[in-house]
Structure 1
Amino acid sequence: MLKRDGRMLHNEWCYIGGGIEHGEKAWEAALREIREETGITEVRLYSSNQFEQFYSPVEDYIYMAPVFVGYVHEDQPVQLNHEHSEQRWMTFEEAKQHAALPGIDDILDFVEKHFAKKTPSKWLRINGENK
């Protein structure tokens, strides 16, 4: 989990997220955001077959994004960019307790059940630069 240091969700714990740049596929954006926000480059990426969504009353829009799951070696150093002030590896329970927004706990429950407690389906593996 990463503690946000920017304007949006300042000082709140979140997992990695971000937008899709022009010409990018969603999974390419996920790998880019992982690299930009943590410096981690070796990732086995999977589609979770889930979506995160929330409504912003301030800006009056609905944010919807696919959720990806990345497996990384724990010995890769984490180097945060300017968007975050802290990082911490957490258990699923800890992450749910620290999560900034409602709904994140449901996503974490899903990821724990389908990606941590059992081997994910090979059909969800994303084949690209992350092979």
Structure 2
Amino acid sequence: MTFGTEIPTRCRAVACIALRRGAEGAEVLLLKRADGPMAGVWTQVTGGIEPGETAAQAAARELAEETGLVPEAFYSAGWVDHFYNPADDCIEVVPLFLAKVTPGAKVILDGEHTDWEWVSIEAAQARVPHHGHRVALDAVRHTFVEREPPEWLRVERYTGGP
């Protein structure tokens, strides 16, 4: 059997979930998009990878730009989102990172967002629009909330961060 043309796969964006311990347990940060087709939608930190950046560097930069947060620990979440992009006829692969932040860390929004909120993982899953985001939140719960994450997932040495 012969198959036709391959659909390209590309990775040009990253996602980062900020996680803290709240009064009721683990909380993740959601951001409300300001403009474009996603205006009014709640998501985690996302953004493009700039030329010369690693995925981990891009995630750390986007976290700082979009929220002003500096993590006390920064990890690869060990999970990637992937989906078909019909506009470009390709499979997009988006690595997920996790930033552990202190409970009192102050969020400072950039112009890409109009609001932010710390919510439980379950509440976040009810708000985020994409299936991949909900699955990512499950991965975060299993790897970072229900147990201590393995040390080999730490990526600070790749970001120039903490």
| TM-score of the aligned structures, taking structure 2 as reference length | 0.75
Q: Tell me if 1:82 matches 2:82.
A: no
Compute the RMSD of aligned alpha carbons. 1.4
What is the deviation of 1:41?
2.2
Count residues in correspondence. 131
Alignment partner for residue 60 of structure 2, among 6, 31, 43? 31
| TM-score of the aligned structures, taking structure 1 as reference length | 0.92
| Structure 2, gaps ≥5 residues long | 1-29
CA distance in 2, matches of 1:56, 1:9: 15
Alignment partner for residue 86 of structure 2, among 57, 72, 77? 57
Q: Please tell me whether Structure 1 or Structure 2 has the larger radius of gyration of its CA atoms.
A: 2
- SS of structure 2 residue aligned to 1:89: strand
What is the deviation of 1:9?
1.4
- SS of structure 1 residue aligned to 2:47: coil
What is the deviation of 1:103?
1.9
- SS of structure 2 residue aligned to 1:18: strand
Q: Give the counterpart letter for 1:39 in structure 2.
A: G
Aligned identity (percent) is 34
| Structure 1, gaps ≥5 residues long | none
Q: Tell me if 1:130 matches 2:161.
A: yes
Q: Is the 8 A contact 1:51 1:66 kept in 2?
A: yes
